[in-house]
Amino acid sequence: MNDLMQKIVSLAKRRGFIFPSSEIYGGFSSCYDYGPLGVELKNNIKRAWWQNMVWSRADVVGLDSSILMSPKIWEASGHLSAGFADELVECKACHKRFRKDHVETPTCPECGGEFTAPKKFNLMMKTYAGVTEDESNLAYLRAETAQGIYVNFKNIVDTMRVKIPFGVAQIGKAFRNEITPGNFIFRTREFEQMEMQFFINPQPDKKGKTVKQWFEYWKKERMKWYKGHGINARNLQFRKHKKDELAHYAKAAEDIEYNYPFSSGGGSASGGGWGELEGIHDRGDWDLSNHAKHSGEDLTYFDEGANKKYIPNIIETSAGADRSTLVFLLDAYQEEEVKGEKRVVLKFHPKIAPIKIAVLPLVKNKPKLVKFARRVYEDLIDTFPVMYDEVGSIGRRYRRQDEIGTPYALTIDFESLEKYTVTLRDRDSMKQTRHKVAELQDLLQDKLGG
């Protein structure tokens, strides 16, 4: 594993962000658990996405559909056929299996053995929903959250008075039996998606806006979101899918790629570490037409403005919550030299940082200081995610907060007792300024963006 990735994996474990799953049983391949700071980080990412995609827009509503759904949905969507399968090759000598498009050598990269001919391997995860494990109870864990949105299209149109163009957003777990999971939380078999399906008129709408223009609009919106939440623009790019790599449902697709410190493999990488972070897809009417055909339901939409019925065209934005978490960690990680010592700091955007403020009494063996600090902490805890820390030297405590990306630290010292003030240390500049306790709420609201 690359040096930076090793540092991220180790920091994530050491500081309570991400643990390997089932560790006391020796682990469970490619599964991870989010620890106390990891769950805050991932929730902040999901909340920031929801705020941007749902709360701040009049034309997008939310949904939370079930993971287990009728297997007929996956037949209709094409996920049970060859379209949702990767090519698998097996080494005849060591029997290791690889995704064909992820191996760069003609023979096994592990032992040099000869490969078998490639065969198609479907990625849908099977389970049984019911008390007998037979075909009649066969079910699938959803491979994308999108299908839950399509099968609720009619429900949403009938209940929410939404008018095209409108979108439906959903965050939730998805599962794929990946042949080669890896690179920590980049590619796993259980992961979370943040998807939005935007339903539009397949013909230019009243304002003359075409499918292609909506596609471009959503590309820009999504790129803006990553940049606006602190991801370095130099590490982001678009990449258009070639015709032969389009997913079975897509008429056009572009990825937002990130410059990872590893090669994510396959046709998706445009060289070096560039690899997929999010996909923007023009799915045409593939999904709704197929669901209409397989279910027998009329999924056409009557457009009053255009005075006609049609099956809407769909523009999809499909991001991974776990992959985004990895990107936010990688992009925030910095090592700096401070007075001859190495400082490791996660420079998260304040909205993304798991803990916003640390409250630190200068020393812990002075009851008056500790009492004061506890009061400051308790005054803030209802409004912000705050951490109280009195263990170790003040320098070590600053380093600890830097390493978990806390934007601000409040230190309570002897002057605090006399003047009812605290010092506020800025994580990035490390500058300290003194403020009245009475002004802290407003000041921090201001600095943390409400």
Chain residues binding ligand GAP by CB under 6 A are: 144, 146, 176, 178, 187-188, 191, 193, 195, 276-279, 316, 318-320, 322-323
Tell me the closest approach of the beta carbon of residue 174 to ligand GAP, in angstroms. Answer: 7
CB of 429 to ligand GAP, least distance (A): 33
Question: Is 360 in contact with 373 (CB distance < 8 Å)?
Answer: yes
Nearer to ligand GAP among residue 127 and residue 334 (C-beta): 127
54 vs 256, which CB is nearer to ligand GAP? Answer: 256
From CA 200, how far away is CA 165, in angstroms rounded? 5
Cβ proximity to ligand GAP, 282 vs 316, nearer residue: 316
Q: How far is the CB of 215 from ligand GAP (least distance, A)?
A: 14
Measured over the CA atoms of residue 284, residue 288, residue 289 and residue 294, the dihedral's sign is: positive
What residue is closest to ligand GAP based on CB?
320
The span from the CA of 322 to the CA of 337, in Å, is 30
- Are the beta carbons of 300 and 312 closer than 8 angstroms? no
Describe the chain by its helix, strand, coil percentages, rounded to 5. 35, 30, 35
390 contact partners, CB below 8 Å, separation of at least 6: 360, 361, 364, 370, 373
Q: Which is nearer to ligand GAP, 192 or 413 (CB)?
A: 192
DSSP class of 359: E
Tokens of 311: 């099956």
Tokens of residue 342, six digits: 């190495």
Residues in the chain: 450
Looking at the Cβ atoms of 143 and 422, the one nearer to ligand GAP is 143
**CB of 176 or CB of 349, closer to ligand GAP:** 176
Task: Give the residue with the Cβ less far from ligand GAP, 188 or 235.
Answer: 188
Strand partners, 138: 128
CB 170, min distance to ligand GAP, A: 10
Shortest distance (Å) from residue 195 CB to ligand GAP: 6
Minimum distance of ligand GAP from residue 32's CB (angstroms) = 10
Return the residue matching tokens 């000598």: 93
205 three-class SS: coil
Task: Output the smallest distance, CB 93 to ligand GAP, in A.
Answer: 28
Handedness of CA 169, 171, 177, 183 (dihedral sign): positive
Least Å distance between CB 247 and ligand GAP? Answer: 7
- In the complex, least distance from residue 360 CB atom to ligand GAP, rounded to whole angstroms: 37
Which are the contacts of 150, defined by CB distance < 8 A and separation ≥ 6? 77, 197, 287, 288, 291, 314
Cα separation, 435 vs 430, whole angstroms: 16
Comparing CB distances to ligand GAP, the nearer of 115 and 184 is 184
Q: What is the C-alpha to C-alpha distance for residues 197 and 76, in angstroms, rounded to an integer?
A: 17
Between residues 115 and 258, which has the closer beta carbon with respect to ligand GAP? 258
